[in-house]
Chains A and B, each alone.
Chain A
Amino acid sequence: MTRSFDIVVVGAGPAGIAAACAAAEHGQRVALLDDNPAPGGQIWRGPRTAHRDAVSRAKERWLHRLQQNAAITSLHGCRVFDVAGDGLLAAEQNGQRVELRYSKLILATGARELFLPFPGWTLPGVYGAGGLQAMVKAGLPVRDQHVVVSGSGPLLLAVAAYLREAGARVAAVCEQASWSRLLRFGASIAPTSRLWQAAGYRWRTRSISFRASCWPVAAHGSKKLEAVTLSNGVRQWTVTCDLLACGFHLVPNTELASLLGCALQQGFVTVDALQQTSIANVFCAGEPTGIGGLELSLAEGEVAGLAAAGAIHAAQTHVPRRDRLRSFAAQLATTFALRPKLRSLPEADTIVCRCEDVPWRTVSQYTGWRTAKLQTRCGMGPCQGRICGSALNFLLEWTPDSVRPPIFPVSIASLAGPTAPAQAERSAIQEN
């Protein structure tokens, strides 16, 4: 089945929602696709929360704006896996192939967490930081569960606050960045509402011990997590816990941009002043252009949506706000840059590629991603290297390989394309 739209937006997080709304409000017929069962992306995932803050207020405002607009067709549980032709994407929804024709394409594919391998990180009960929050938002009860939150990034405090309010006993929040970096970051955001946001999270987690320059070095347990060993670089200590929420900030999802041939710089999609990529008619907004959080994603989404709709003047009115917010992205990158010491987290038998169970001992013998893949199957499993590739980009500074379709595992029927049933029929007739 082929469906045609003026604009196709891939990703229904804040950037994608803002882009879709802005474009539809300028007379465009828009498709908004997302792999997840509901719109909102990671930050706006899940039901309404009891705690009213800037994030939940923005969520309600934008979801309302999205739902009000009849010119937007939302396709959930829909994932793009290939480029089927010029201005044509191949996607899979409910196990069926769907082709989407567009005049303009907006990529708002968001980011994923960076996970680093350390002994025991494959045990059930070890989640991403955003990962555990997503599980709780999706119904996982955590009341009276002992949790350690660790890794890096502004997400850690937000996750700790969320888990505490869900009844978890958060033993500690461990941030790998140093106090000096965190304080400089605090000073740089002091004139903005972000400081109040950060202060709000810290107030909500005031009973929880917050440690800077601290990271997990091992998770312990037989069938599931029972304890975690933490380090501050000088000494190590072990904390009993049921759950570990651990993510080392974010990496952008750039697979579709790469497949389309969009230029990337230092892992991020290159865009011009109006969010246009190096490929004609393809725009990009949100985390794939630089990790900058909610407000920047919304601003970039509005610019991209308006520019794609041809409303250039309207798009330009959002540019100064977007540019101010971009300086925050640069501060995030400096503050939460990973300390080199984390490169020694994996031990010889620590599994690096979780899909194919390839240990560090094997992977680290190779000099690059391609030979490691061919020789060890590292990165050849269903996640297609999204987890281990990002880890190895940090651990060994390996640059990712070129992207090949399908960019997500799909059924043979979806892969074969719309001509497959007809061909099958023909061959059946010939056999008769």
Chain B
Amino acid sequence: MTDTVRLTVNGRTLAVPTGATVAVALAIAGDACRTSVSGEPRAALCAMGICFECRAVVDGALHQRTCQIVCRDGMEVRTE
């Protein structure tokens, strides 16, 4: 097992520690997870699957709570 995995965040390739969640990858990339209904940038708050602020598109699936998903090699993440 290598100690990093590589994924793309909004088209940019990024290496993150093995075991990192997608919410962590988004924070490392410096990208907000989503834009709120009034246009504000939002990112993870609770980091335990409750608040839904960290939701993003993971491998084409919409509205995924990225704090509950562990990064895998080749994963594609887009912010909402």
Query: Hey, which chain B residues are within 8 Å of A135, CB to CB?
Result: 21, 23-24, 27, 44, 47, 67
Q: Which residues of B lie under 8 Å from residue A126 when comparing CB positions?
A: 45
Q: Which residue of A lies closest to B25 (CB)?
A: A139
In the complex with contacts A139-B24, A354-B36, A37-B45 CB distance below 8 A: no
Given contacts A37-B70, A140-B24, contact A113 B37 (CB under 8 A): no
Q: Tell whether, in the assembled complex, residue B24 and residue A112 are in contact, meaning their CB atoms are under 8 Å apart.
A: no
Give the total of A residues in contact with B, Cβ under 8 Å. Answer: 40
Cβ-defined contact, A138 with B47, below 8 A: yes
Alpha-carbon distance between A132 and B24 when the two chains are bound, in angstroms: 10
User: Binding site of B, secondary structure by majority: helix, strand, loop or mixed?
Assistant: loop
Which residue of chain B has the shortest Cβ distance to A110 in the bound complex? B48
Closest to A133 in B: B47
Chain B CB count within 10 A is highest, among A122, A132, A253, A381, for: A122
Chain A residues, CB < 8 A from B36: 122, 351, 354, 357
Q: What's the nearest-Cβ distance from chain B to residue A227, in Å?
A: 17
Residue of B nearest to A357 (CB): B38
A269 on the interface (CB 8 Å rule)?
Answer: no
**Interchain nearest-CB distance for A200 vs B (Å):** 25
Q: Which residues of A contact B24 (CB under 8 A)?
A: 135, 138-140
Per-residue CB proximity of B5-42 to A under 8 Å, as 1/0?
00000000000110111011001100010001110111
B63 touches A134 (CB 8 A): no
Q: Give complex CA distance A336, B14 in Å.
A: 41
Closest CB-CB distance, A381 to chain B, in whole Å? 7
- Asked if B55 is at the interface of the complex by the 8 Å CB criterion, the answer is yes
Of all chain B residues, which has the CB nearest A77? Answer: B68
Determine whether A130 belongs to the interface, using a CB cutoff of 8 Å to chain B.
Answer: yes
Interface residues on B, range: 20 to 34
Q: Tell me the smallest distance from the CB of B44 to a CB of chain A, in Å.
A: 6
Q: Is the CB of B47 within 8 A of A223?
A: no
Whether the pair A122, B28 counts as a contact (CB closer than 8 A) is no
Residues of chain B lying within 8 A (CB to CB) of residue A131: 44-48
**Interface flag for A211 (CB, 8 Å):** no
- Would A124 and B47 be within 8 Å (CB), given that A139-B17, A139-B20 are in contact? no
Residue pair B21, A138 in contact (C-beta under 8 Å): yes
- Considering the chains assembled together, what is the distance between the CA atoms of A335 and B79 in angstroms? 41
Which residues from chain A contact B48 at a C-beta distance below 8 Å? 36, 42, 112, 128, 130-131, 134
Q: Which residues of A contact B51 (CB under 8 A)?
A: 115, 354, 383, 386-387
Q: Tell me, yes or no, whether A356 is within 8 Å of chain B by CB.
A: yes
Across the interface, which residues of A come within 8 angstroms of B20, CB to CB?
138-140
| Bound CA span A130–B52, Å | 16
Question: Closest Cβ of chain A: how far from B45's Cβ, in Å?
Answer: 6
Residue contact A47 to B44, C-beta cutoff 8 Å: no
- Cα(A77)–Cα(B53), bound, Å: 18
Query: Is B56 on the interface with A (CB-CB < 8 A)?
Result: no
Determine if B44 and A383 form an interchain contact, defined as CB atoms under 8 angstroms apart.
no
By the criterion CB–CB under 8 Å, are A223 and B68 in contact?
Answer: no
Quick check: is A261 within 8 A (CB to CB) of the other chain?
A: no
Q: Which residue of B lies closest to A381 (CB)?
A: B52
Neighbouring B residues of A128 by C-beta, 8 Å: 45-48
Q: Determine the distance from Cα of A127 to Cα of B33 in the docked complex, in whole angstroms.
A: 13
Contacts of B43 in A (CB 8 A): 124-125, 224
Task: Check B49–A35 contact: CB distance below 8 A.
Answer: yes
A–B pairs, 19, beta carbons within 8 Å:
A35-B68, A36-B48, A124-B27, A125-B43, A131-B45, A131-B48, A132-B47, A134-B46, A134-B67, A135-B44, A138-B20, A138-B24, A139-B24, A140-B24, A141-B28, A224-B41, A382-B52, A387-B46, A409-B63
Q: Which residues of A contact B (CB under 8 A)?
A: 35-37, 42, 47, 77, 95, 112-113, 115, 122-128, 130-132, 134-135, 138-141, 223-224, 253, 351, 354-357, 381-383, 386-387, 409
Besides A37-B70, A354-B42, 18 new A-B residue pairs in contact (Cβ under 8 A), listed by A number: A36-B68, A122-B36, A122-B40, A126-B45, A131-B47, A132-B47, A134-B48, A138-B21, A138-B23, A138-B67, A139-B24, A141-B28, A351-B38, A355-B52, A357-B37, A386-B50, A387-B51, A409-B52
